[in-house]
Every structure is written in C-alpha cells, then in structure tokens.
Structure 1
Amino acid sequence: MAKTNNPDWYAKWRHDAVHILQEQNARLKEQFRLNSWPRYDYDLAARQLTFSENGRAKVVADIQVVGTTSQNAGNWLWAWANSHWPADCIEEAQRARSFGEDHGIEELTSGYVEDDDLNGLGWELTAVTARICGAVGAYRPPRDEGGGLFLLYRDVRWVL
C-alpha cells in the first residue's frame, strides 16, 4: 500500500474493496467470457469498451477512466489530474476524489501516488473507486510495457 496519511478505518476498507472487485471481475469474466475475445477497442467519445472476434462485437461495456500508471514516472496518475481525458470519462474518478476530500484520504486527493508495485497500486485504487461508485467491475487493457490504463465498468452486456 502506498504510504499516505489516511483515517484508521481506510486500510481495511481498501483491502475489502480489492476483494470485492476481484469477485466482481471473476463473475464478469465467467459470464461474458472476457478472457476469450481476441480484440478489444475503447471509444472514449462513446465511453465504451468493446470486445470482439472476427470483426464482430460480442460484449460491450460502459466505462470510465480511473487512472494510469507509468513505469517511467514511477507513479499512478488519477484521471481527474490528467487534462488528456474528457470530463465525462472521469466522473467516477472525480467521485473518488470527493470521497477522499470528505474523509481525509490523501491518496485519493493527490494527483500522483507513488508505490513500488504500480500495477498493484493501480488495481487497489481502481477497486476503491469501484466501491465508492458502485461499479460492476474493472479492466486493465493488456500492455507490453511502460504502465497501465485502469477502467471501471458501469455496465457490461452482450451485443445482440
């Protein structure tokens, strides 16, 4: 866990959020066969992530950007602190920031968060955001190197 100043209850609450997200993602993976689709594409204008096969969409998810990790910078960058993202794509990250402000949680209100395990940190902060916002799951698109993009699922459904 990143070393920050947080309320006493937060460490357990955060830990529980990770387990809740792991269970949600396992259910989604099974229900929608998310590991089996050879292609994914995200469309920020539509705020959607589409899983497809042979040029045909199979599963679509309504998404929000939570944040990114960067090996070069050695940190997590909240989506709300990155002017690159459209405002309607970062609403849930903004909610996490507001929650952090209301409860004095430093890692939710600092634009950058450092940790030795950036992928773990990304998943943990995404899990916290998912819990705050009632998201149904989360996704980190595969990336060969350099860091990661962390997304929340607001909704996931089959394409008919």
Structure 2
Amino acid sequence: MKPDWYPAWRDEAVEQLHAKNDRLHTDFRLGSWSRYDYDLTAGKLLFSDDGGVKIVTEIQIAGSTSAKASNWLWAWANSNLPGELLSDAKLVRSFGEKNSIDELAQAYVPNAGNDLEALGWELTGTMVRICDALGAYRSPRGEGGALYLIFKSINWAS
C-alpha cells in the first residue's frame, strides 16, 4: 500500500541523493579513497589512504540488502545493530506509518524489480530525504548484499 504521490516523490529522493553524493565526491573525493572503515560503536565512517584517515563522517544506518534472501531489511528491524544508529531509520518507519507506505513501515521489502542495488539506493534515498542527510554510502557485504549508511556530518580529518 502507498499513496499516489509516493512513487514520484521517491524518484525525486533518489535524484536528490545522486546530486548530494556527486557533491560529496567533488568536495571530499568520496569514492576515490583506497580504504574505508566503519565503526558502528562510535557511529563513524572513515575514509583513508596510505597516509592515514582523511575524511571522518558521522553516520546512521539505513538498512541492508541480502542477495540470498533477495530483499531489503530496514535497520530499525535489525536487532544486531546498535540502537544509537537507528534513530533516523525509525523516523522513516514513522513517516511510512503516518502516510500508509508499506515499504517504509514494514521490516522487509522484497526485491520485486529484481535489482537489489537499485532497491537499496531507492530506500536509502528516501531516508536521506526524510532525514535531510548529506548523502549516503553503500558498503558491500560478502554474501552479495550491502549495508547502506547515511551521512549526518562529514569533515576532513585534522
């Protein structure tokens, strides 16, 4: 279930996310660093090269895709994730409940379009729009899925 306005609104959210991520690539060279590390305890994603940490971000977790299950799992529904990094995902669930948007209010979203990466970016883009985040990052996982993170702040390391 979803309101008539939602598909176009979600498409706009994805376009906005692409623009935000393009700006982050230009301003902070995201996507070009040789290494990244996330610390879910500290709520940080760090980008580095051989000289050390260059970019420090504060993150929230959007959710994850699973190639095996062929679906998306919202972060708010994943008991393995630290609660401090789920507040924005919970805002998305509330938005979904308020507006009768099942894919935002239900824990799992099936990969109906048969493009798991597109599904992950669509739902992450929706979260970035709802929470007015700076952009997002996709961290590949071993089984073919990915963990999607949103940026709350981003700075050059001192």
TM-score bracket for this pair, using the shorter chain length? over 0.9
TM-score computed with the length of structure 2 as normaliser? 0.95
SS in 1 for 2:27: helix
Gapped runs of 5+ residues in structure 2? none
Alpha-carbon distance change, 64 to 21 in structure 1, aligned in 2, over 3 angstroms: same
Q: CA deviation at 1:142?
A: 3.8
Residue of structure 2 equivalent to 1:85: 81
Gapped runs of 5+ residues in structure 1? none
RMSD: 1.1
Q: 2:61 aligns with which of 65, 73, 82?
A: 65
Residue of structure 1 equivalent to 2:11: 15
Residue of structure 2 equivalent to 1:101: 97
Looking at structure 2, the residues matched to 65 and 122 of structure 1 have their Cα atoms a distance apart, in angstroms, of 12
1:8-63 Cα distance to aligned partner (Å, 9 max, x none): 11011000000000000000011001122101000111100000111511001100
SS in 2 for 1:27: helix
Q: 1:147 aligns with which of 126, 145, 148?
A: 145
SS in 1 for 2:139: coil
TM-score computed with the length of structure 1 as normaliser? 0.94
Residues 1:42 and 2:5 aligned together = no
Q: 1:137 aligns with which of 135, 139, 142?
A: 135
Cα pair 2:63 2:74 within 8 Å, conserved: yes
Q: CA deviation at 1:145?
A: 4.7
Looking at structure 1, the residues matched to 118 and 43 of structure 2 have their Cα atoms a distance apart, in angstroms, of 25
Alpha-carbon distance change, 144 to 84 in structure 1, aligned in 2, over 3 angstroms: closer
Looking at structure 1, the residues matched to 103 and 31 of structure 2 have their Cα atoms a distance apart, in angstroms, of 31
Aligned residues: 156
Residue of structure 2 equivalent to 1:156: 154
SS in 1 for 2:79: coil
Looking at structure 2, the residues matched to 36 and 23 of structure 1 have their Cα atoms a distance apart, in angstroms, of 17
Q: 1:123 aligns with which of 115, 121, 124?
A: 121
Give the share of equivalent positions with the same residue, in percent. Answer: 52
Cα pair 2:68 2:143 within 8 Å, conserved: no
Looking at structure 2, the residues matched to 25 and 142 of structure 1 have their Cα atoms a distance apart, in angstroms, of 17
